[in-house]
A and B are shown apart, each in its own frame.
Chain A
Amino acid sequence: MLLVEDSMTREVVTVSPETRADEALALCRERRIRHLPVLEDGRLVGVVSDRDLRSATPALGDPARAAALRRLRVGEVMSREVVTVRPDEPIEVAANRMREKGIGCLPVVEDGRLAGIITTSDVMETLVFLVGANEPGSRLEVLMPDRPGSLAGVAGIFGELGINIVSVATGPRQKFPDGDTPGRVAVFRVDTINPSRAIEVLRRAGYVVLWPPQGS
């Protein structure tokens, strides 16, 4: 779970360095994609985006644009230093690589062969499923001591009340309101319309429920 191969697109639309810019742009339009891996003899040699192609030619409305797009070849504008990812790498590695390099997609390469492509939208979709935002639930933010057993304590309270946990994510460290106790925030999606009893028990057990706020 949560590997690149679980989220990537396997049927990749590719071009060759000899593909004309107008043909490549038409592909992007028809398939509603923005990035095309460039293959030569089955080997990945670059990536070209619709933006690379557009910005290399005269602006929209310029009469010289159509001719320039016919003349220009993908190989002339593609990025040759391609940042890639392996299918067995965790999705957070792919996400972080895209973030650090400021790019929107990574070709997925296995044994030197193009196995797929993963984009920011794929990562977003994974996030939606990961936090269970596609299933009915209430969202609770709980600040718990950053100590072994805290998460089990919260989960145990839900368990005893018969409330199913749809998803849980824990965040970076954060201090308790006393400014002293080291804590960590966990975001739960729980399958109930009525979390009030759980919130009451959590507060009594010493956890800080950040959302919903007290008294509302």
Chain B
Amino acid sequence: METITLNSNFKSEEYFINMGPQHPATHGVLRLLLTIDGEIIKKVEPDLGYIHRSIEKMCERDSYQQIVHLTDRMDYLSANINNEAVCLTVENALEMEIPDRVKVIRTIIGELTRISSHCLWWGVMGMDVGALTTYFYGFRDRELLNDIFEETCGARLTMNYNVPGGLMFDIHPNFVKRVKDFITHFKNKLPEYDRLLTNNIIFQKRTKGVGILSREDAISYGASGPVGRASGYSCDVRKHHPYSALDQVTFNEALRTEGDTYARYLVRIQEMWESLSIVEQLIDNIPEGEYRVATNAVIKLPKGEFYQKVETARGELGVYIISTGVKSPYRLKFRSPGFSNLSLLNHIAVGGKIGDLVATMATLDLVIPDIDR
């Protein structure tokens, strides 16, 4: 066969294209400015703010009970954990004793939220790399969890189940049974995930060795959650700064050392197993007692500064409150995991191809309202 030699006069040229703000792989309104040479990425510059709602400014006028509601709208897939973060900050600032029942229920629902979020992530991750079936599998299992949430508090996504002092309502009488049913169901279904996607050779070729993040860079870029842990960086807030009932359970922190897209994928799969195990340890031992401690109708935090971190499905969420002793915070900052995780995208995507960028972005698991707070 005749080989074709390229005319050496052809020069490559850099140009830029827009990815988003309505690109299906950005899962929200995120615009990326890609500088590319052929198909090789030279630079990725995120353009943010399409759905910025200035939640931090709104918090400066709101009461602490109202702030809880706003946090639902940040990382909506971890809504319950976000609510918990604000409640914990307020409760710690007021030095309130929270009943064990509340702690256990919060942890159970938090872990179910994590599974639900990871199910959705797994579904769209497969879709991003061309495997459509995963979407239906992921949503099938997530639906069961949404039903449990709906029965518990009336909402499927933006739950608002936590209030400062405890929970808005007690759990539904069916709660324990339905959660147990889910555990049995999901233990059968999770291995299907591996058979369908994890062990798929095409999928592995798309993800192995792509978008590598070293441990040192992970720390420097403030990576957290599965993104940090896939690079061998032990950053699980649940391990290092346990809150609610997480000090009563045993679980393994999912850690990998490869730091590539496939490792981030495996960390999340393992996290689903770990979350199942945490729920299993607690579901039979929900202590009796109050589901809520009464607080003043107007909550005033003492003068000072308070910081609380929790582990959402995406990583470390920090709530930083500066209080002057009045009903609203003087300044409230949300340190959102997605914001820091997005900042390292340029670092790991440069030198790769556009198709790799899609796979890499899928395992950063960005939720745009979490970035555009």
Do the two chains bind? Answer: no
| A residues whose Cβ falls under 8 Å from a Cβ of B | none
Instruction: Please list the residues of chain B having a beta carbon within 8 angstroms of any beta carbon in chain A.
Output: none
